[in-house]
Structure 1
Amino acid sequence: MEALKKAETSIKVGELFERMPFTRRHLFVGIVLFIVSVIEAWENMLIIFISSSIAADFHLTPVQEGSLIGSIYLGMIPGAYMWAILADRLGRRRSLMYSLLSFSVISLVTPFSVNFAMLYAVRFIAGVALGGVMVSGYPYFEEMLPVKQRGKGIVYLSAGWPLGTLLALAAAGLFLEGDGLMAGWRGAIVLSSLVGLWAFMIMKIPESPYWLAGKGRQEEARASIQYLSEGKVKLEPDQTVWVESAERESYFNIFKRRFIKLTSLQTAVNFAFAFGYWGLYTWLPTLLEQKGLSMSQSLVFITLSTLFQVPSYMVAAWLTGKFGRKKVMIVFVALAVLSGFGFAYSANMAQMYVCNFALAFFSLGAWGVWNAWFGEIYPTSVRVSGYSFGAGAQRWANTLAPSIIGMVIGFGWAFNATVSFIQVFMVITLCLIAFIPETEGKILE
């Protein structure tokens, strides 16, 4: 009798989101977090586009220039683990704000670096700060969306990556070719640091109702639900909301028997998928040079490839809502693999362009689906922890892939052998995702 009474006076947050309509408030939250996604991509990619200018100023060797590019990614590895713990304690919103603001402040020190050691240290610490944006943004948005719109919303959020890449490319071109006090790579870094002030816009959106309910903050959870639904989701005055909770709050819960298989699978997917993408695109100018393209032709090639990524997210967003995460991602990764091997063995320039554009389209569409999928596979109590561990694996791949691919190129491997080696990691990704459970249409626990 007591259990029946409890069932009548309490309800899972996920069940409320199952019947919640999509409102203008969701759209506002989406716009705020989309800009955060754009900023994250901008900050990740800018250092690649301005590294040659920095190298010229500091007289860096190619090895030092490469390590400088990797410094922010290396910093994001401990940052991912640290901010996951903070996000579970402080909340999704506050950790996202603090991460973006702290990055902005630390990054502003970069132009004042007096030597390579200081420059490397500042970029590494900035990466630690930026780790919170990487691990909080997607889980936060997933916890704010109705069940039916969750997959599409996260894939749309992922479209911030190509836009951020294009803006970073534009900022690099504008400042590196400009004149005056703030011209050059220092001006580009200052601008990229100041966009971190967008963190103050995050204050205008509510905290995740899932996180609030998990912490027992009933009034705030109810207020957040009312805000997002514009009052269309009704709760009785004595009705409580709840989410599944861990026995004991700990980052290491993701390694317990219940989650260890899932954690192992998603971590392997994140590493292999990131290696397959990053290993190719960080060395693409060099690989294209092997095929006879000049540096300016390579940049045009990369820009066009990036433009092809934008519609891929739109198509993937529509398909994932219709056919589910697993089917769409398997098809997109499989087509990316075929396109990748086609790119490796292109007989002429036309084939190379077509295959690379197809590779950009299908691989980035798959990334959009994956960002939605692997943020949903854990319950609220360990969602950010699980997401951060997988995101950390991505950054390990980002750090290791350029060095490993550089090594095989140094061995004298031909273009087709190098690209084929990279595509093996995409094949591994394709095999592993078959074992991850579908989450389309299911409520978040």
Structure 2
Amino acid sequence: MSDKFSIAARLERLPISSYHRYVIWVLAFAFFFELGDINTLSYTAPAIEKAWHLKLSAIGTITSATFLGMFLGASVIGYVSDRIGRKKSLIFTVLVYSVFSLLNAFATNMSTLFITRLVTGFGLSAMTVVGITYISEIFPAKKRGTYQGLIMTIGLCGIPITAYVARFLVPAAPWAWRLVYVWGALGFVCAFLAVRMKESPRWYENRGRHEEASRLMSVIEDEVSREKGKLPEPASEIPTPVSHRGYGELFSGNYLGRTIVLLILWILQTLGFYGFMAWVPTLLVAHGFSLVHSLAWSSAMSIGAVPGAFIAYLLSDRIDRKWLVTLFGVVISICGLLYGLTFNTTMIVVFGFLVAMFIQTFAPLLYAYTPELYPTEVRNSGSGLVYGVGRLANVVGPMIVVFFFNTYGYKSVFVYIAATWIILAVVTALFGPRTKNRALEVLSASAPGVEA
């Protein structure tokens, strides 16, 4: 293929093939254990609280450790991955979250669990940032949202499966909660599968390694053409990457507006998401429901995650993600508020299921939307920054939940959660850029003050 075409133009015209499908399965497997592991503390917290005679506030402190680690992981890996590449970063982050998930099982007190959850959180968020960036750079514009949704649909099976693993393991013995973390450590297998993945050609091109980028692109094109036949000519109108100043670009006039919008979205999404999902079992127990019933109901609710992501798979590239993010922010707010206002068992499960489902429709949309708004030079750095700050916000998130619960009661927690989602929807509707069917380089060039 002639070097007169940019890597973007050559990637954009590739049909979906085995090359893409291998990426789908490796990342889906990584997200399966990553998403399951994020929720393990919520499923084991009531048993840990009882076994170690902890107060509710202590569980909040340990939860905060996870999100402090997620902030550090996302912030660091974004910068590192923009320099060493996506593939190496993915392998490293999967190993970190897997090893420390296992070490959670051997925690002997609150202090050691605080440390192991902090480092686990580091690996979890770092892997997410690398994964969503890799997806955005490999898949063509017309399909990247769809396949982000598909990867999340498969990956989100980790939430209900982990919930049911916890449902049957935790009540088995006072120490059986530890086995839930052993289960979470199985994600290490993904690190070995990722060795066969190819580096992002866009990353090579952006680093000035044009010969490597073109050579890798030729290998990919040959692989795809053997499976799909002759490839169409690239679209010459896709702009070649332009030079940017580096990390400071995130805070310049060109991208500052996008950074502010994404920071608000990720902070509110994190507070609303984990305010609901991470605290449902513990709040039900604190409100008088038994541990067994609490775990059973939260497990049933978590099944909604899979059809939720599948909805994103179906809709993500049909409607502009700006408006999908807005729509589902409103829907989640309404369902979450209705959940908090009822104590009928059936309604608890129904509205809990709907919240869990639509939250996981929302997640793939935001995962796809975030890296689209930054240029390749700082795509992982920008995604890591906004994702990490969002997770950092949840260092105080559990304290906010505890404050509302202790001061104003059970229902007030869900009024607070509903408010986070409504504000998120309003900000997106007013200030979020449109991204439908636009190549990453086109979106980058469309930022205020940027010339292609």
CA distance in 2, matches of 1:88, 1:283: 35
How far 1:291 moved relative to its partner?
Answer: 7.3
**Which runs of 5 or more residues in structure 1 are unaligned?**
1-7
CA distance in 2, matches of 1:133, 1:304: 27
* Residue 376 (structure 2) pairs with residue 355 (structure 1): no
Per the alignment, do residues 215 and 317 of structure 1 end up closer, same or farther by CA in structure 2, a change over 3 Å counting? same
Q: Is residue 142–residue 437 contact of structure 2 (8 Å, CA) maintained in 1?
A: yes
CA distance in 2, matches of 1:292, 1:174: 21
Per the alignment, do residues 346 and 228 of structure 1 end up closer, same or farther by CA in structure 2, a change over 3 Å counting? farther
TM-score, length-scaled by structure 2: 0.86
CA distance in 2, matches of 1:355, 1:97: 38
How far 1:228 moved relative to its partner?
Answer: 4.2
Per the alignment, do residues 414 and 206 of structure 1 end up closer, same or farther by CA in structure 2, a change over 3 Å counting? closer
Q: Hey, what does 2:384 align to over in structure 1?
A: 388
Q: Deviations over 1:7-32 (max 9, x none)?
A: x8532322223321111210111100
CA distance in 2, matches of 1:36, 1:267: 25
* Residue 419 (structure 2) pairs with residue 424 (structure 1): yes
Q: Is residue 156–residue 305 contact of structure 2 (8 Å, CA) maintained in 1?
A: yes
Per the alignment, do residues 403 and 59 of structure 1 end up closer, same or farther by CA in structure 2, a change over 3 Å counting? same
Q: Is residue 57–residue 399 contact of structure 2 (8 Å, CA) maintained in 1?
A: no
Q: Hey, what does 2:59 align to over in structure 1?
A: 65
Q: Is residue 341–residue 423 contact of structure 1 (8 Å, CA) maintained in 2?
A: yes
Structure 1 counterpart of 2:146, from 143, 152, 158: 152
Q: Hey, what does 2:444 align to over in structure 1?
A: none
How far 1:86 moved relative to its partner?
Answer: 1.0
TM-score, length-scaled by structure 1: 0.87
Q: Is residue 210–residue 243 contact of structure 1 (8 Å, CA) maintained in 2?
A: no
How far 1:351 moved relative to its partner?
Answer: 4.3
Structure 2 counterpart of 1:192, from 184, 199, 203: 184
CA distance in 2, matches of 1:179, 1:277: 30
Q: Hey, what does 1:378 align to over in structure 2?
A: 374
What residue identity is the alignment partner of 2:118? F
Q: Hey, what does 2:428 align to over in structure 1?
A: 433
Q: Deviations over 1:106-126 (max 9, x none)?
A: 444444445432332233233
How far 1:407 moved relative to its partner?
Answer: 0.7
Per the alignment, do residues 273 and 119 of structure 1 end up closer, same or farther by CA in structure 2, a change over 3 Å counting? closer
Q: Is residue 300–residue 349 contact of structure 2 (8 Å, CA) maintained in 1?
A: no
What residue identity is the alignment partner of 1:248? R
Q: Hey, what does 1:313 align to over in structure 2?
A: 309
Q: Hey, what does 2:162 align to over in structure 1?
A: 168
Q: Hey, what does 1:17 align to over in structure 2?
A: 11
Deviates more, 1:79-88 or 1:67-76: 67-76
How far 1:258 moved relative to its partner?
Answer: 0.7
Q: Hey, what does 2:334 align to over in structure 1?
A: 338
Q: SS of the residue aligned with 2:434?
A: coil
Deviates more, 1:47-56 or 1:275-284: 47-56
Q: Hey, what does 1:46 align to over in structure 2?
A: 40
Structure 1 counterpart of 2:73, from 76, 79, 82: 79
Per the alignment, do residues 139 and 420 of structure 1 end up closer, same or farther by CA in structure 2, a change over 3 Å counting? same
Runs of 4+ in structure 1 off by over 6 angstroms are 233-236
CA distance in 2, matches of 1:103, 1:342: 35
Q: Within 5 Å, give how 1:11-410 maps onto structure 2.
A: 11-160=5-154, 162-176=156-170, 184-229=176-221, 230-232=223-225, 243-249=240-246, 251-288=247-284, 293-346=289-342, 348-410=344-406
CA distance in 2, matches of 1:289, 1:188: 19
Query: Matched residue pairs, number?
Result: 431
Per the alignment, do residues 224 and 56 of structure 1 end up closer, same or farther by CA in structure 2, a change over 3 Å counting? farther
Per the alignment, do residues 404 and 310 of structure 1 end up closer, same or farther by CA in structure 2, a change over 3 Å counting? same
Per the alignment, do residues 186 and 308 of structure 1 end up closer, same or farther by CA in structure 2, a change over 3 Å counting? closer
Per the alignment, do residues 10 and 372 of structure 1 end up closer, same or farther by CA in structure 2, a change over 3 Å counting? same
CA distance in 2, matches of 1:178, 1:164: 21
CA distance in 2, matches of 1:341, 1:115: 35
Per the alignment, do residues 112 and 294 of structure 1 end up closer, same or farther by CA in structure 2, a change over 3 Å counting? closer
Per the alignment, do residues 295 and 177 of structure 1 end up closer, same or farther by CA in structure 2, a change over 3 Å counting? closer
Per the alignment, do residues 114 and 297 of structure 1 end up closer, same or farther by CA in structure 2, a change over 3 Å counting? closer
CA distance in 1, matches of 2:204, 2:421: 38
Q: Deviations over 1:235-276 (max 9, x none)?
A: 99xx9x995254333x33211111111100110011112212
What residue identity is the alignment partner of 1:303? S
**Which runs of 5 or more residues in structure 2 are unaligned?**
442-452
CA distance in 2, matches of 1:186, 1:418: 29
Q: SS of the residue aligned with 2:262?
A: helix
CA distance in 1, matches of 2:359, 2:124: 24
Per the alignment, do residues 122 and 302 of structure 1 end up closer, same or farther by CA in structure 2, a change over 3 Å counting? closer
Per the alignment, do residues 376 and 185 of structure 1 end up closer, same or farther by CA in structure 2, a change over 3 Å counting? same
Q: Is residue 17–residue 147 contact of structure 1 (8 Å, CA) maintained in 2?
A: no
CA distance in 2, matches of 1:293, 1:118: 29
What residue identity is the alignment partner of 2:199? E
Per the alignment, do residues 280 and 258 of structure 1 end up closer, same or farther by CA in structure 2, a change over 3 Å counting? same
Per the alignment, do residues 284 and 439 of structure 1 end up closer, same or farther by CA in structure 2, a change over 3 Å counting? same
Q: Is residue 271–residue 394 contact of structure 1 (8 Å, CA) maintained in 2?
A: yes
Q: SS of the residue aligned with 2:245?
A: coil
How far 1:308 moved relative to its partner?
Answer: 1.8
How far 1:429 moved relative to its partner?
Answer: 0.5
How far 1:56 moved relative to its partner?
Answer: 4.7
